[in-house]
Amino acid sequence: MTVRRIMGIETEYGISVPGDPMANPMVLSGKVVTAYASQVGMRAARAGWDYEDEAPLRDARGFDLARGLADPSQLTDKEDPTLANVVLTNGARLYVDHAHPEYSSPEVTSPRDAIAWDRAGEAIMREAVRLLARPGTAGVNLYKNNTDGKGSSYGTHENYLMSRATPFAEIVRHLIPFFVARQVMCGSGRVGIGAESTRPGFQLAQRSDFFEVEVGLETTLKRPLINTRDEPHAIADRYRRLHVILGDANHSDVTNLLKLGTTSLVLGMIEDGAVGRNLTVDKPVEALHRISHDPTLRTTVQVSSGRTLTGIQLLWEYYELVGTWLQQKYAGELDEDTAEVMTRWEQVLTKLERDPMEADREVDWVTKLKTLEGFRARDGLDWSDPRLRAIDIQWSDVREDKGLFNRLLAAGRVERLVDEALVKDAVNTPPRDTRAYFRGTCLARFPREVAAASWDSVIFDVESQPSLQRVPMLEPERGTEAHVGELLDRAASADELLRMLADGAATRG
């Protein structure tokens, strides 16, 4: 119960065609996926997605939503044959989701690894843009953001594997206040106030204005602070996958580290039943909006004890609770990943409390606000000026020479934690310490024989068998290099791998 657990990030990218605002986004997104899949060849192009274990209408509150009552956007367990959907050799999924190209990273076990494979997704999208930029065509632009500034929002979702034994009501009770405040250090910043940016101004988070309820199953309408989808992609009576839809698409490594790391630690504390303080926030959805709308960080919210706290003060409360829990449980002997998150958490909160602009190298929204204030001062721009909205969009352009964040990064004006060489390797190589290793390595070694895959399965089509062979992977921490690496090295073919797996299962039986 340290910061380390199975986790991952799903990112839907904004998409446009220069000079053609009426271009069909679903068609464009399909071109993005197929362009990249064709570039990597049979390693990805043949392997589709295995939908057998998908259950998007199962609710953590103990029921299944009837299909007839579901919004079409919720029916993610049936493939649309017109949409591109591939599995990559790094263990990730690249597909079209709600008219956006989406990169779902492979399962990892630490925030730093999550950063590496998330940035690998940026590199993959950047390569797709390059492939589609043919002479004589307009090409496409892709943006790692969460809103077009005109009322549309698309997600960056986090996934955390946790104990099924933890009561869901306890997760809701203790996580909502944390999520209300987390945007103070994890928001990506946005020009415009309100879902349709009808009021001029700047706010901390891209997604906050699009949330309407506290708890619910939906992800694209009536968005909830806590999503109740109960689809563990793992052994169901042992694990729960917490599907977090509230967060922003982050560019800063430090911000991403804090988003994933602090959330994992708070979850660990909840799992351990160690939250010794009731921090329930009054009217949390409204509080989420109000905190996001105030880059001075002075807005206060009322908690159950009757106290009023700023977002920073609420985060300090969680920091102190987590610190006490870790001290009691581990007597100060923390692993490197947990120690890094706790150190960064304290450093960033200290800077934000003293003067938010001190965190301009670490926190996404601060970096963006400082840049925008530079344009405002230079050109005398009011927050209602459309040029600021255009700059906001350009900020997240995935191209290294066009995206404003990428240009600041190249100039050394933001802090990087994960080396570019690790990101480059993560584009094609899976994590070694989760089941993604088996999935990705099978695709790299036996591309012609892998018919489909999912988070919890790989399906083989081999000549020696009359039917498809499904290898289940319901335990996320099996299928690792340590577990199956030698087996994969010895297997000269997919057929031989299946025989060795069967022999191993028979021996264990």
Assigned domain for 487 exists: yes
* Residue 291 clears pLDDT 90, i.e. is over it: yes
In the Cβ-directed half-sphere of 422, how many Cα atoms lie within 13 Å? 14
CA distance linking residue 408 with residue 361, whole number of Å: 10
pTM of the model: 0.93
- E-strand ranges in 280-336 read 300-302, 308-310
* Residue 31 clears pLDDT 50, i.e. is over it: yes
Whole-number pLDDT of residue 43? 46
* Residue 400 clears pLDDT 90, i.e. is over it: yes
CA distance linking residue 374 with residue 503, whole number of Å: 65
Range of the domain at 464: 1-112+121-143+428-508
Q: What is the mean pLDDT of residues 129-153?
A: 91
Assigned domain for 352 exists: no
Residue 154 exposed, middle or buried by CB count within 10 Å (0-12, 13-18, 19+)? buried
Q: What is the mean pLDDT of residues 411-432?
A: 97
Q: At a CB cut-off of 8 Å and minimum separation 6, what does 68 contact?
A: none
Whole-number pLDDT of residue 44? 46
CA distance linking residue 352 with residue 350, whole number of Å: 6
Pairing of strands 100-104, 7-12: antiparallel
Closest residue by Cα to residue 411 from 360, 376, 351, 366: 360
Whole-number pLDDT of residue 45? 46
Whole-number pLDDT of residue 159? 98
Assigned domain for 235 exists: no
Assigned domain for 155 exists: no
Structure tokens, 203: 């706010």
Q: What is the mean pLDDT of residues 406-420?
A: 97
Amino acid symbol at 433: D
Amino acid symbol at 58: R
Whole-number pLDDT of residue 18? 86
Q: How confident is the model at residue 104 (pLDDT cuts 50, 70, 90)?
A: very high
Structure tokens, 349: 């909160």
For residue 148, the Cα-to-chain-centroid distance in whole angstroms is 19
Structure tokens, 432: 């070694």
Whole-number pLDDT of residue 487? 95
Give me the number of domains the chain comprises: 1
* 8-12, 464-468, 486-490: range with lowest mean pLDDT: 464-468
* Residue 78 clears pLDDT 80, i.e. is over it: no
CA distance linking residue 194 with residue 92, whole number of Å: 33
Assigned domain for 281 exists: no
Helix%, strand%, coil% for the chain, nearest 5: 40, 20, 40
Identify whether the C-beta of residue 212 lies closer than 8 Å to the C-beta of residue 285. yes
Reported as a single tens digit per residue, the pLDDT across 36-51 is 998 875 444 456 776 6
Assigned domain for 460 exists: yes
CA distance linking residue 329 with residue 333, whole number of Å: 9
Enzyme catalytic residues = 97
Closest residue by Cα to residue 263 from 327, 208, 183: 183
Q: What is the mean pLDDT of residues 125-151?
A: 92
Amino acid symbol at 144: K
- Among 88-102, 419-433, 492-506, top mean pLDDT goes to 419-433
CA distance linking residue 240 with residue 484, whole number of Å: 25
Q: What is the mean pLDDT of residues 449-473?
A: 93
Measured between alpha carbons, how far is residue 70 from residues 66, 67, 153, 479 in Å? 7, 5, 20, 35
Q: What is the mean pLDDT of residues 396-416?
A: 97
* Residue 385 clears pLDDT 70, i.e. is over it: yes
Reported as a single tens digit per residue, the pLDDT across 263-280 is 999 999 999 999 989 999
User: What percent of the chain is predicted at pLDDT more than 70?
Assistant: 91
Reported as a single tens digit per residue, the pLDDT across 145-176 is 999 988 899 999 999 999 999 999 999 999 99
Place of tokens 């009054």: 282
Q: At a CB cut-off of 8 Å and minimum separation 6, what does 436 contact?
A: 90, 91, 106, 107, 108, 430, 479
Q: At a CB cut-off of 8 Å and minimum separation 6, what does 462 contact?
A: 449, 469, 493, 494, 495, 498
Assigned domain for 472 exists: yes
Place of tokens 């005109």: 150
Assigned domain for 462 exists: yes
Q: What is the mean pLDDT of residues 406-417?
A: 97
CA distance linking residue 390 with residue 375, whole number of Å: 12
* Residue 302 clears pLDDT 50, i.e. is over it: yes
Q: What is the mean pLDDT of residues 474-484?
A: 96
Identify whether the C-beta of residue 141 lies closer than 8 Å to the C-beta of residue 18. yes
Reported as a single tens digit per residue, the pLDDT across 184-243 is 999 999 999 999 999 999 999 999 999 999 998 777 778 999 999 889 999 999 999 999
